[in-house]
């Protein structure tokens, strides 16, 4: 049986750890335990950032900062982190506005019986992206885990 690529293992582990930590950060923020946080998008820390940062750090620690693989992982990681806190976060903000608008239409339709409005069963997901601090938290977690993984492999 072949071993899994250590870089892939490191990145997937970082993603899993970040997703698990969301349970605790959600508890701290809301006061409620919610195991479902392990499968959500958004929140602290960003698992996207943790995954790509751990991979880039793992490669840089093993191959050096001037290696082409390090450059590829770093640029890829920067794009992923920018997307997580930029476009995806804005999509979540738009979803929140649409949900609020639908709530207003529902209230408005109650005042006017001739106005026919059918409300959806499920609201749009508002937690799609990350705040910059969540991306930073994921990146720091990823750097630490990537470095530890590389150092443990070399010993």
The pLDDT of residue 88: 62
At 88, give phi and psi (nearest 5°): -65, -35
User: What number is the average pLDDT over the span 6-10?
Assistant: 94
CB 91 within 8 A of CB 73: no
pLDDT for 54 beyond 90: yes
Give the chain's radius of gyration (CA, Å). 20
The pLDDT of residue 73: 96
pLDDT for 68 beyond 60: yes
Stronger pLDDT, 48 or 101, i.e. the higher one: 48
User: How many CB atoms are located within 10 Å of the residue 36 CB?
Assistant: 9
């Amino acid at each position: 049986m072949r071993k899994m690529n250590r870089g892939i293992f490191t990145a997937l582990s970082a993603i899993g750890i970040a997703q698990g930590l969301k349970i605790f950060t959600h508890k701290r923020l809301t006061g409620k335990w919610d195991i479902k946080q392990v499968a959500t998008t958004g929140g602290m820390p960003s698992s996207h950032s943790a995954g790509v940062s751990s991979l880039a750090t793992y490669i840089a620690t093993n191959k050096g900062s001037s290696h082409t693989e390090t450059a590829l992982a770093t640029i890829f990681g920067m794009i992923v982190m920018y997307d997580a806190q930029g476009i995806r976060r804005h999509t979540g903000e738009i979803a929140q506005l649409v949900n609020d608008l639908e709530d207003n239409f529902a209230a408005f339709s109650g005042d006017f019986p001739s106005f026919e409005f059918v409300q959806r069963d499920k609201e749009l997901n508002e937690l799609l992206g990350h705040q910059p601090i969540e991306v930073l938290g994921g990146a720091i977690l990823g750097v630490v885990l990537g470095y530890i993984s590389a150092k443990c492999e070399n010993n």
